[in-house]
């Protein structure tokens, strides 16, 4: 696997209709390009999990923070790193599991599918970073590269 990231993209989101779906689409395009142009093995599981994570994080950022949101995608050390920056300095907190609660399960879902999570305050706002393995452990027999 190449040492350098094949690509790195930052997407500004304005909260207009369709921007969450657009963020998911751009994530899919980014991972498809990493696979087709750079030969990185991206499993179907990773593709779906990345789109889910982007959807949850961008939805929360647009819901709770005034102003713009930035989505940054990059490949580092066999992982796709997803960063979402927004203007609200309040760090997200996963709530205790409650099957009776309607809604507000987004962060629980994100934490269940990622291999790494970090939330930090920035000079303006905060940045949430998650990491997902591009491919599953072949010894476990999990997943196949997407599109193959």
Helix (H) or strand (E) holding 71: strand 69-76
What CA–CA distance (Å, rounded) separates 96 from 79? 28
Does residue 52 register a pLDDT over 70? Answer: yes
Indicate left, alpha or beta for 12 from its phi (over 0: left) and psi (-120 to 50: alpha): beta
* Average predicted confidence (pLDDT) for the chain: 84
Does residue 24 register a pLDDT over 90? Answer: yes
* pTM value surpassing 0.85: no
What CA–CA distance (Å, rounded) separates 17 from 25? 14
pLDDT digits (tens, 9 = 90+) for 80-139: 999 999 999 999 887 766 677 666 667 888 988 999 999 999 999 999 999 999 887 544
| H helical segments located in the chain | 19-38, 44-64, 106-113
Q: What is the largest CA-CA distance in the chain?
A: 46
């Amino acid at each position: 696997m190449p040492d350098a990231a094949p690509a790195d993209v930052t997407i500004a989101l304005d909260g207009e209709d369709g921007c969450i779906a657009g963020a998911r689409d751009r994530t899919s395009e980014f991972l498809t390009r990493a696979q087709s142009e750079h030969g990185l093995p991206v499993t179907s599981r990773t593709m779906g999990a990345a789109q889910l994570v982007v959807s949850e994080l961008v939805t929360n950022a647009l819901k709770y923070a005034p102003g713009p949101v930035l989505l940054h995608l990059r490949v580092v050390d066999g992982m796709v790193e997803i960063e979402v920056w927004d203007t609200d300095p309040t760090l997200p907190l996963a709530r205790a599991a409650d099957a009776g609660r309607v809604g507000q399960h987004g962060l629980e879902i994100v934490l269940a599918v990622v291999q790494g999570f970090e939330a930090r305050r920035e000079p303006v706002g905060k940045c949430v970073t998650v990491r997902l393995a591009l491919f599953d452990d072949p010894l476990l027999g999990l997943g196949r590269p997407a599109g193959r």
